[in-house]
Amino acid sequence: MNPKIIQEKPLMMNEVKEMLQKIKERDGELNFRANKTGEALGEIVQIIGKASEELRKKITELNIPRLKDIHTAKLADIMPKTVDDLKVVLQGYTVTITNDNLKKIVDVIAEYQPKKK
């Protein structure tokens, strides 16, 4: 049996966490690997629910040339606080973005940063 790929779509860590929760509710429990993944995501994911999807949408709405879904998903996961942090995240990809656009992205992400207590 050869599985057939129907669609490729980058998932945010928040979406993976939600999928694991649905599987746990459906099956009653997760296997060892899924449990470990869920625990790690619980410590890493900074924003949950619709906020992460809103952030991804706002970054997309900036209409920055060459910025793709995979980039917006990664930015919504990592949520870099400064332009330098953003450059570090994007250096793993073959994408060049102007400093002006980098600043716009950081400004949008700043709106969704978790508030310190």
Domain ranges of the chain: 13-44, 50-110
Amino acid type, 57: K
The residue with tokens 């996961």 is: 77
Helix (H, G, I), strand (E, B) or coil at 63: coil
Kindly report, residue by residue over 21-72, the tens digit of the pLDDT.
999 999 989 999 999 999 998 888 877 778 888 999 999 999 999 999 999 9
pLDDT for res 67: 92
Residues contacting 41, CB < 8 A, separation 6+: 13, 16, 17, 20
The pLDDT-based confidence of 1 (bands split at 50, 70, 90) is: confident
